[in-house]
Structure 1
């Protein structure tokens, strides 16, 4: 049996251990053992609606369908006496694997890869396919999958895949940390300084300022834009905090180049702000005491590079322009956002460049974890997923 880190149930009695040894004997096909495992796991758990929807969605992505087994015909009460407990359990099962690993001419080719399924499920399907964006629910999704995988190990269901299952569990642990960080970053981007540049230099925030906005509400303020006067002051604050002498001297007198790209970016390095330099003696900046100016005075940066999401079953995916491959880009960002960033994180954004080489994020469409993998799955499978709305 395995170590305490995989224990999800109490100790087995000798009789229970003997039963499981027979149920999960390596002489039985993998699909049969997993179907039995899922049936017994569900029977021993009390699921609320959210957890069972998460679990069933995870199983479907791994090739497990829910419903009466095709051609089984249900259970005939007249024949019950002729069946043992395992046979009755197999007939009564409602979760079954949709591939045949019994060999023969009709056997379907199918790779068993627990880590692959977990990677696609937690990095893509949970936050994007199912639209789960709340921190407690993201954490719970990771915990549901991890608990099941620990059960599979503890009950020795498929020891031939033990290393792969342990890899999948490590992905659950990583996802529980990174998905939460990605949500925080997503709620804070593009950041005060980048938003100010977008406002003044014809980006996506230009011309949308709503003077009736409540500025203490982050979501509201992002939608309502920045006061152009405040945006200009924010740009100057950022330049004085992080710019070169030449950039500071130019101030607002700058132009955009034709470098305007929607890019997927991978974070290479997170550099937190150091002590703020003093303002120039001739600077006329009576800075308002609001969150935008407080944040922009603590300005560090991200070092990023263009990145292409891995998509399964496709080759030659790298479609970034040749001149952008390997390019390292510096994005100025406030400490309030940088504290949640990490190397390997991915940001899907539109970036603009000034004629002096300074680059800012104009808009953000996604913040992705380090092991992100975009999936394609049939619409009918997506339609079967439970309701995860409020």
Structure 2
């Protein structure tokens, strides 16, 4: 059998991987986007790719075997070079997939469009499944199956991360920065033209910022059963800290939580550019809620705010800019025991109470990683800046040796 001969255990691991990569490329339709993702993933894992791979070259004269696969002679002309580790390190598919999708892709690849967030886990999952179905590396089957699980999880979580990151900072965060940070309030110290430009840039003026913060303070009082009226002017801010956090609780205001139906659409994988972006984002949120287990889906609908359709109805009058509704989110600092190095129990870690846009909060999952500047107000509420959200399976590589050559694509 041609396939079995190609992947015979008598062949070195590196040789079998080279053959599998070439066959995988040859028999699949690769868009430019998928080519970039796949080549970047291979380079991250230590596999060199040449230009012929992008053009499907190196195999045109080899023909196919009885199974429709390229014959071995042609495969040997492939341009993907795999070298077995010579420093004693072990091949680790799970570690490479996890660090690539959770850290490298989001921090260093430079790919910011939703299409890449959708396609990356799809391409990588298909590649790993190819190794399993073709029995390329039976000695690594357990590792490959674990890597596939990570890639499958990323199909849901990477688009969710994109949804949340696009909505940060929230309008509440921006309002707090305007009211409590001198550097932001300076936007409105110039003339009328400068102030108009500031409103266009920030999406609000000082009066709207005041109404947003006042509305959240009132909502926070309701949550804490505090009937004492509070004014934002009586609140001050503490010093800012940059923190590593995880999502532990999300409360969607009552009347704003949506339950997806069994027929909810799935993530598109081929034609993002031709589809409506807003509908795609909605379907991604729906899928994340539908496919997450009860233990990881957080939208609880516990908080109540005196609002209707996102408009503050307690102000007593019409407003040109309706005050939005926000979801209360609790984050916990990722504190480690100084002796054991283990993560401290949740009840022993510092909690941060902040507010996200409702649509973004629907895409948050328990355990998602948040890196952010955090400023806590004297009433216990915090606002975020320079924030980034990462998947629940976030893992940093032991050693980062530089960006892949495709990092300039967007």
Q: Provide TM-score, normalisation by structure 2.
A: 0.70
SS at match of 1:200: helix
Aligned partners of 2:375 and 2:182: how far apart in 1?
9
Aligned partners of 1:262 and 1:286: how far apart in 2?
39
Matches within 5 A, 1:40-79: 40-67=23-50
The 1:56/1:333 distance shift into structure 2, 3 A limit, reads closer
SS at match of 1:99: coil
Matches within 5 A, 1:122-137: 122-137=101-116
How far does the alpha carbon of each residue in 1:191-232 deviate from its partner, in whole angstroms, 9 at most, with x for none?
A: 2223222211126643335643597xxxxx5x4253111111
Aligned partners of 1:136 and 1:384: how far apart in 2?
19
For the Cα contact (< 8 Å) 1:204–1:363, is it kept in 2? no
Q: Which residue is 1:388 aligned to?
A: 409
Residue segments in structure 1 that go unaligned for 5+ positions in a row: 1-17, 69-74, 76-84, 101-106, 216-220, 310-314
Root-mean-square deviation (Å) = 3.3
Q: Which residue is 1:370 aligned to?
A: 392
Q: Which residue is 2:196 aligned to?
A: 212
* Residues 1:180 and 2:147 are matched in the alignment: no
Residue segments in structure 2 that go unaligned for 5+ positions in a row: 52-57, 59-70, 189-193, 255-303, 309-313
Q: Which residue is 2:16 aligned to?
A: 33
Deviation at 1:267, TM superposition (A): 0.3
For the Cα contact (< 8 Å) 1:306–1:325, is it kept in 2? no
Q: Which residue is 1:19 aligned to?
A: 2
Deviation at 1:386, TM superposition (A): 6.4
How far does the alpha carbon of each residue in 1:1-39 deviate from its partner, in whole angstroms, 9 at most, with x for none?
A: xxxxxxxxxxxxxxxxx1111111122221111111112
Deviation at 1:118, TM superposition (A): 0.8
Q: Which residue is 1:303 aligned to?
A: 330
Aligned partners of 2:110 and 2:342: how far apart in 1?
27
Matches within 5 A, 1:142-221: 142-202=121-181, 205-209=184-188, 211-212=195-196
Q: Provide TM-score, normalisation by structure 1.
A: 0.74
Aligned partners of 2:242 and 2:206: how far apart in 1?
24
Aligned partners of 2:123 and 2:358: how far apart in 1?
33
Q: Which residue is 1:113 aligned to?
A: 92
Deviation at 1:122, TM superposition (A): 1.3
For the Cα contact (< 8 Å) 1:347–1:364, is it kept in 2? no
Q: Which residue is 1:342 aligned to?
A: 365
